[in-house]
Amino acid sequence: MKRIEEKPMLERRSFLKISLLAGGGVMFGLTAEHQAVAQGRGAPQVAPDPHNFIKVAPDGTVTILAKNPEVGQGVKTMLPMLIADELDVDWKQCKIEQAPFDESKYNMQSAGGSTATPVNFMPMRQVGAAGRALFIAAAAKTWSVPESECTTSSGRVMHQGKSLSYGELTAKVAELPAPNLATLKLKDPSEYKIIGHSQTQIDLHDIVTGKPIFAIDMKLPGMLHASFERCPVLGGRVVSANLDDIRKLPGVKQAFVVKGPDVQGIPTSYPALVDGVAILADTWWQAQQARRALKVQWDEGAAAAGSSTAFAQKAAELSKQPPQRTLRNDGDVDAAFKNAAKVVEAAYSYPFISHAPLEPQGATARFENSKMEIWTNSQQPGSGRRQVAQILGIPQDDVVLHMVRGGGGFGRRLTNDYMIEAAAIAKQAGVPVKLLWSREDDMEHDYYRPGGFQYLKAGLDASGKIVAWQNHFISYGEGENFVASGALQPFEFPQRFVPNYALHSSVQPLGLRTGALRAPTSNAIAFVIHSFLDELAQAAGKDAVDFRMDLLNQAPAVPAGGSAPPGVNAERMKGVLQLAAEKSGWGKKTYPKGTAMGIGFHFSHQGYFAEVAEVTVTSTGANSHKVKVNKVWIAADVGSQIINPSGADNICQGGVIDGMSELMNQKITIEKGRVQQTNFHQHGMMRMAQAPPEIEVHYLKTAYGPTGLGEPALPPILPAVANAIFNASGKRVRSLPFSDSGFSWA
């Protein structure tokens, strides 16, 4: 079976459905038996009967439905561009609307894993092409001419000087049999008029005029504003609360306890709904004010012993003991270390961090006539809907979701805890409720990027080649189970590129919820691997780019007819490494003392990225170093086609800035089971004056199917900046964030 990245998914069997809509328009849709594979997220998704993407009104207005949740990744613009181009209409005559949530019609509707492009590039184009074929058929029938003699342009069908608009044909189209998608002719890329051409974000006008389009902006008649107090220790239970006092406070309409499922001990995975106290008021601020007077007696449970200091001590102990498990063992690392000319060891670590999308968590819910209706910015609404039904004990068909724009996602909205809370509160309250988390709630009750420790050892032969690589990875979990996003893949780079390779792991219990943060696992591993690779290059006395190129050249050939191994495709990675080196002028520039370049690359979510950072480090004391990132060069291979260049550049540059925030300032710590950081002043993100003035983005077009950009631009920037800092200052920092080692942005 070929990987998605090698070839975009094709429908096995599909045909077009048409239905007449109220208002005289026609809807087209794709019906497909669809093996949708969300790369990195497990089981295939089956969507039995998707439909309804395009509506053409008699006046020629084309409405295209965007099926996936929009959280700033630009998918509400990008997916309809694919449809519009193949439909052969002008982008400016299109109106884009968010599709309703209905996975039986639209296939998987989620935002995660940079999957929207590889999963939808082909089917969305087929939807558009099928629409075009129908208008041609309707026109050909009208004129009694062969379809093959008709052409289209800008939403019109033409034949020898005659022409009809799609709007004029829309009623006739409804009577036609559906074309077989498998026989449709798709445009050659040279014919694209919309794909590959920058289009501004679809909601931009609403954003700049302040329209209430975000989840936080929802408003329902009779709605109350809810604030929800959770136990500061995960898994804690409400014993009692001074609810009567709270109910008397200004603006407060209701106050009650919400019970979550019971928690025993320290499980690897916690329930989505936790115990807490809901306060409902006329305004959210009044609910928050009342919360200040709230006194809850908690039974904190087993996680109350959690401590970052203790976790680090335990990890250090575990590193000295035999690993609990071996995840991969190629060759014989011990023998290779004995024969190595040089052995290098280093211990790396990275902390828990919070997603902190700028729009805090929240959802609006109404329980009426046994039906639960929810307005949500979830990145994974389908999973949320199933959980709401299960936790509230109502049939899934009675849970209706509306997808609303999210103010950032970054993986935080893949978990649906806040939406489940809103539903539980609304059901108990008997009135429509808008739940909003405070920033403090958000930072203290996240599904954090798990911290971790990696004890690395590598052997070099006399020529400076890596002959052995060993990693004792220390994470969180129990037995063979890692906490969410707390695992390392056995085929993680440089597995397969080093003849003797061992990945061992040990875990300790956590008592904190963890989850996917933009480029999960990769956001930490790239820093570790490429910092260590630079240490090895230095030990080998080689240039950082040459050393990596040599390593990539060590990939064993894939046997003819054999399936490609998982992980890095060496040729593609060499391509972006070369491009990044070329564009940045690697090795060709002379800098004053304190200024230098650094490089890193990473493969994640099907994207190949190499990045170079140029930094200036100014030390004002032994433990005070100011870092300015002067410029960043991004080289990306995400296949044959960039669909919306403006959106693509934007998200690549944003990924780089996001990664730099993680590198420098972000850390969540726990003591007595409580998260100690409360707001942005303790979990810093990069500000405008700190951002590099220039971030160049270069795409290497290759013959592979187009893949996504939400995640893979982020990971390499951490080691690129870390290595540049070392090259500029001689200071090798092996623990994130760098602020703990006396560094800060200039």
Q: Match 């939808």 to its residue by tokens.
A: 120
Query: What distance in Å separates the CA atoms of residue 538 and residue 540, rounded to the nearest whole number?
Result: 5
721: its two tokens: 């900046």
Residue 685 interacts with another protein (CB under 8 A): yes or no: yes
Q: What is the footprint of another protein within residues 505-524 (CB under 8 A)? A: none
Select the residue interacting with another protein from 8, 128, 323, 409 (CB under 8 A).
Answer: 409
Pick the stretch among 310-318, 435-443, 558-566, 575-583 that binds another protein (CB under 8 A): 435-443
Residue 264 interacts with another protein (CB under 8 A): yes or no: no
Query: What distance in Å separates the CA atoms of residue 66 and residue 111, rounded to the nearest whole number?
Result: 12
One-letter amino acid for residue 425 of the chain: I
**Which sign does the torsion angle of CA 640, 194, 151, 177 carry?**
positive
**Count of residues that bind another protein according to CB under 8 A:** 76
CA-nearest of 272, 270, 261 to 237 is 261
| H or E element in which residue 142 lies | helix 116-143
Residue 436 interacts with another protein (CB under 8 A): yes or no: yes
Pick the stretch among 1-9, 165-173, 353-361, 488-496 that binds another protein (CB under 8 A): 353-361
Q: Which is nearer to another protein, 224 or 241 (CB)?
A: 224
CB burial readout 69-93, b (16+ within 10 A) else e: bbbbbbbbbbbbbbbbbbbbbebeb
Pick the stretch among 324-332, 364-372, 450-458, 683-691 that binds another protein (CB under 8 A): 683-691
Residue 72 interacts with another protein (CB under 8 A): yes or no: yes
Residue 688 interacts with another protein (CB under 8 A): yes or no: yes
Whether residue 257 contacts residue 241, with contact meaning beta carbons closer than 8 Å, is answered with yes
Query: What distance in Å separates the CA atoms of residue 668 and residue 308, rounded to the nearest whole number?
Result: 9
Residue 369 interacts with another protein (CB under 8 A): yes or no: no
Q: Which is nearer to another protein, 275 or 649 (CB)?
A: 649
190: its two tokens: 């040279």
Whether residue 564 contacts residue 6, with contact meaning beta carbons closer than 8 Å, is answered with yes
Select the residue interacting with another protein from 686, 718, 724, 725 (CB under 8 A).
Answer: 686
Select the residue interacting with another protein from 396, 463, 563, 679 (CB under 8 A).
Answer: 679
Residue 358 interacts with another protein (CB under 8 A): yes or no: yes
Q: Which is nearer to another protein, 510 or 713 (CB)?
A: 713
Whether residue 105 contacts residue 17, with contact meaning beta carbons closer than 8 Å, is answered with no
One-letter amino acid for residue 709 of the chain: L
Q: What is the footprint of another protein within residues 634-663 (CB under 8 A)? A: 642, 645-647, 649-651, 653-658
Closest distance between another protein and the C-beta of residue 361, in Å?
12
CA-nearest of 108, 86, 94, 104 to 55 is 94
Q: Which is nearer to another protein, 408 or 565 (CB)?
A: 408
Closest distance between another protein and the C-beta of residue 47, in Å?
27
Q: Which is nearer to another protein, 209 or 369 (CB)?
A: 209
CA-nearest of 3, 86, 70, 38 to 651 is 70
Q: Can you spell out the DSSP letters for 632-679?
A: EEEEEE--S--S-HHHHHHHHHHHHHHHHHHHHT--B-EETTEE---S
One-letter amino acid for residue 426 of the chain: A
Select the residue interacting with another protein from 54, 157, 216, 315 (CB under 8 A).
Answer: 216
**Which sign does the torsion angle of CA 136, 137, 138, 144 carry?**
positive
Select the residue interacting with another protein from 50, 382, 406, 716 (CB under 8 A).
Answer: 406
Specify the DSSP class assigned to residue 23: T
Closest distance between another protein and the C-beta of residue 287, in Å?
10
| H or E element in which residue 367 lies | strand 362-368
Closest distance between another protein and the C-beta of residue 187, in Å?
15
Whether residue 432 contacts residue 221, with contact meaning beta carbons closer than 8 Å, is answered with yes
Select the residue interacting with another protein from 50, 74, 155, 712 (CB under 8 A).
Answer: 74
Residue 158 interacts with another protein (CB under 8 A): yes or no: no
Residues with Cβ within 8 Å of 394's Cβ and at least 6 positions away in sequence, in order, are 370, 372, 388
342: its two tokens: 């040089």
Closest distance between another protein and the C-beta of residue 190, in Å?
10
Residue 386 interacts with another protein (CB under 8 A): yes or no: no
Q: What is the footprint of another protein within residues 554-573 (CB under 8 A)? A: none
Pick the stretch among 72-80, 477-485, 566-574, 608-616 that binds another protein (CB under 8 A): 72-80
Residue 697 interacts with another protein (CB under 8 A): yes or no: yes
| H or E element in which residue 64 lies | strand 62-66
Specify the DSSP class assigned to residue 121: H
Residue 40 interacts with another protein (CB under 8 A): yes or no: no
Residues in the chain: 746
Select the residue interacting with another protein from 187, 439, 628, 731 (CB under 8 A).
Answer: 439
Query: What distance in Å separates the CA atoms of residue 690 and residue 360, rounded to the nearest whole number?
Result: 24
Select the residue interacting with another protein from 9, 47, 64, 71 (CB under 8 A).
Answer: 71
Pick the stretch among 49-57, 89-97, 400-408, 581-589 that binds another protein (CB under 8 A): 400-408
Closest distance between another protein and the C-beta of residue 595, in Å?
18
Cα–Cα distances in angstroms (integers) from residue 196 to residues 10, 81, 249, 636, 703, in the given order:
21, 9, 57, 16, 15
Q: What is the footprint of another protein within residues 233-262 (CB under 8 A)? A: 250
**What is the per-residue binding string for another protein in 266-305, x denoting contact by CB under 8 A?**
----------------xxxxx--x----------------
Q: Which is nearer to another protein, 668 or 686 (CB)?
A: 686
Whether residue 514 contacts residue 475, with contact meaning beta carbons closer than 8 Å, is answered with no
Residue 221 interacts with another protein (CB under 8 A): yes or no: no
Query: What distance in Å separates the CA atoms of residue 66 and residue 64, rounded to the nearest whole number?
Result: 7
Residue 687 interacts with another protein (CB under 8 A): yes or no: yes
Q: What is the footprint of another protein within residues 174-213 (CB under 8 A)? A: 196-198, 200-201, 203-205, 207-212
Pick the stretch among 56-64, 150-158, 431-439, 484-492 that binds another protein (CB under 8 A): 431-439
Select the residue interacting with another protein from 695, 709, 720, 721 (CB under 8 A).
Answer: 695
Select the residue interacting with another protein from 24, 232, 331, 408 (CB under 8 A).
Answer: 408
Q: Which is nearer to another protein, 213 or 346 (CB)?
A: 213
Residue 699 interacts with another protein (CB under 8 A): yes or no: yes
Q: Match 């939400």 to its residue by tokens.
A: 710
Residue 541 interacts with another protein (CB under 8 A): yes or no: no
Give the helix ranges, DSSP H, for 32-109.
Answer: 75-87, 103-106
Whether residue 28 contacts residue 134, with contact meaning beta carbons closer than 8 Å, is answered with yes
Pick the stretch among 387-395, 434-442, 529-537, 584-592 that binds another protein (CB under 8 A): 434-442
